A and B are shown apart, each in its own frame.
Chain A
Amino acid sequence: MEDSRRERDGAEGGAGQADSAPWLCRFLGPAESMVAGVVVRLCGYSAILFVFAILFFVLREAAPMLFGGMDLVEFISSPDWRPSSEVRPQYGILALLVGTLSVTGLAMALAVPLGLGAAVYISEFCTGKVKETLKIVIELLAAIPSVVWGFISYMVLAPLIVDLTGAPVGVNLLNGGAVLALMSVPIIVSVGEDALKAVPDSYREAALSLGASRWEVVYRVLFPAAKNGLLAAVLLGVGRAIGETMAVLMATGHAVQIPRGLLDPICTLTATIAAELGETVYGGPHYRMLFVIGLVLFTITFFVNLIADIVVKGIRNGQRA
């Protein structure tokens, strides 16, 4: 049953292609439908165009600093980001990079167990109304705008953290990590649940009929069988967390420093760009350095996505074998 469902989905996917849209042909003659085909194809290719256009634009703004003018060693190794210093502006990215990585790492440490746990629960341990309700709620969670998450971190989490830990400020690494975790959980849950759902039911029955408990089915059968899909879910969560801007800007306190603990305020790559671009002089070194940071972000997310992609391909090949 599971198999046939997947085949059907595949067939629907195929029907989306330009040259096999029969409903189009009913209204259009052969010449028009050829035009329609070309239009649809162009829409498809435009995605590639946009990616390159964005890359080109960012690169163009960054280029004067990137290829001369900037101190690469300082950029990579200095924790000092003092772009508006009168005496000597410094453009060290280390603190920002550590900020991004630490808040993302913390977010994943919270979101992965929570997200995968929820995915397992929804896919394996609940049925009917509960399942439908949970799925809808998770989708709603994914639809909350990031500035609203920012509010929540500011108004709810921050006072809570101050109360519980006695920290001087509630906007810090912990707060940012928690908010990012909440924001990436929905994507981890929904992709993870899809991955678990794609495991044929016959595997579950095989394991159960050999006396495995439902929990054993999860970790001895489903996790190995769905590991690529689950890894892709995690990587998509990572991508979400790295790229997030507004909520982290509001949640992390925006202090350029290498955090020494969970309660230190931090600053991320994304938040820096968002907060500072407006105050820079167009074409000035500070302006251009923000674009260099943009390139760094672009590179990071590119690799995260690339890995996710390779992993997802691995799933498909695995299924064919």
Chain B
Amino acid sequence: MIANEPAASAAASISTRNLNLWYGDFQALRDVSLDIKPGIVTALVGPSGCGKTTLLRCFNRINERYGNVTTTGQITIFGKNIYDPDVSLTQLRKTVGMVFQRPNPLPISIYENVLFGIRSHTRRGEYSRRERDAMVESALRNVRLWDEVKDRLRKKATQLTLEQQQKLCIARLLPLKPRVMLMDEPCSALDAEGIERIELLLQELRKTYTILIVTHNMAQARRASDECAFMLLGRIVEHDKTLNVFLNPREKETEMYVTGRYG
């Protein structure tokens, strides 16, 4: 298909080649070729409307909910083209978890939120009561939420604070054992302390997962990411080690953006 492009890098967990995406006739992604490495945090930054959310939503194919989306190009995740006809969306979304900008726990109990995904992927009764309890506890402990909610697991998740809700949204991915986590401005609804605690959490999670995080907060991108990709008007302008992007950008636009003279 793309003869003179380098083949998708085998080492990358997500790689895209010549990815274009249109909403109707509006082109939101232009020729995006990107390799996201496993085991690190990659930050995706860029001014509002440049296509960060759009790109993220391609990786679990949740973009396809909208009827007017056309995509061309290639996305491979762990070597598998996710647009192959034999790819099951359920399986893909099990591997590639997503955390949304606004915390969106389901209006069911905390306990059931954590188990929601796993219930879609297993037959009824595949796990015993005790195994389920253990799964919930371990997921909530991993996101440092267990102590706060252990006495009200049966309460509605929508009654938690925003920070707790967002942690729950991360926790409910864990029983699925995803390999990639996509996070779309996960801290934008939180206060400073909440942001700090979520970032701490990211540091713990990075060992196990490939994390791709969209952020508007330059300081956060600098603190929390190992690599950084800068997007502008649907294109990837620059993708490098975070320090290089911030201290030593190759492109003029990147420099203008990271120094705050843009967007």
Interface residues of A (CB under 8 A from B): 127-128, 200, 202-213, 216, 220-221, 224-225, 321
- Scoring A200, A207, A209, A211 by chain B CB atoms within 10 A of each residue's CB, the highest score goes to A211
Within 8 Å by CB of B65, from A200, A205, A224, lies: A205
What per-residue 1/0 map shows which CB atoms of B232-256 lie under 8 Å from chain A?
0000000000000000000000000
Knowing A127-B67, A216-B120, the reply to whether A209 touches B97 (Cβ < 8 A) is yes
Chain B residues bordering chain A, tally (CB within 8 A): 30
Provide the residues of chain B in CB contact with A224, threshold 8 Å: 107-108
**A221-B106 in contact (CB<8A):** yes
Closest A residue to B158 using CB positions: A321
Residue B60 interfacial (CB < 8 Å): yes
A214 CB, nearest partner CB in chain B, Å: 9
Closest A residue to B60 using CB positions: A209
* Nearest 3 Cβ contacts at the A-B interface: A210-B117, A202-B104, A211-B93
Knowing A211-B91, A211-B94, A211-B121, the reply to whether A206 touches B173 (Cβ < 8 A) is no
**B176-A211 in contact (CB<8A):** yes
A195 CB, nearest partner CB in chain B, Å: 14
A24 to B255 Cα, complex, angstroms: 56
Interface residues of B (CB under 8 A from A): 60, 62, 65, 67, 89-91, 93-94, 97-98, 100, 102, 104-108, 116-117, 119-121, 156, 158-159, 169, 172-173, 176
- Scoring B102, B117, B172, B176 by chain A CB atoms within 10 A of each residue's CB, the highest score goes to B117
Within 8 Å by CB of A211, from B67, B90, B100, B159, lies: B90
**A205-B117 in contact (CB<8A):** no
**B176-A208 in contact (CB<8A):** no
Closest A residue to B173 using CB positions: A210
**B93-A210 in contact (CB<8A):** yes
The contact sample of 8 A-B pairs, CB cut-off 8 A, is: A128-B67, A203-B106, A206-B105, A210-B93, A210-B116, A210-B120, A211-B117, A321-B158
Closest B residue to A199 using CB positions: B107
A-B contacts at CB below 8 angstroms, number: 66
A196 to B119 Cα, complex, angstroms: 23
B133 CB, nearest partner CB in chain A, Å: 19
14 extra interface residue pairs, beta carbon distance < 8 Å, beyond A210-B93, A220-B116 = A127-B67, A202-B102, A203-B104, A204-B65, A207-B116, A208-B93, A209-B100, A210-B173, A210-B176, A211-B89, A211-B117, A212-B120, A213-B120, A225-B107
Closest A residue to B90 using CB positions: A211
Provide the residues of chain A in CB contact with B107, threshold 8 Å: 203, 224-225
**B100-A206 in contact (CB<8A):** yes
A212 CB, nearest partner CB in chain B, Å: 5
**A206-B104 in contact (CB<8A):** yes
**A212-B100 in contact (CB<8A):** no
A239 to B106 Cα, complex, angstroms: 32
A255 to B154 Cα, complex, angstroms: 54
B145 CB, nearest partner CB in chain A, Å: 17
A203 to B65 Cα, complex, angstroms: 13
- Scoring A200, A212, A216, A220 by chain B CB atoms within 10 A of each residue's CB, the highest score goes to A212
A46 CB, nearest partner CB in chain B, Å: 39
- Scoring B97, B100, B107, B119 by chain A CB atoms within 10 A of each residue's CB, the highest score goes to B107
Knowing A128-B67, A210-B93, A211-B91, the reply to whether A205 touches B173 (Cβ < 8 A) is no
**A212-B116 in contact (CB<8A):** yes
A132 CB, nearest partner CB in chain B, Å: 13
A207 to B107 Cα, complex, angstroms: 11
A154 to B104 Cα, complex, angstroms: 52
Provide the residues of chain A in CB contact with B62, threshold 8 Å: 205, 208-209
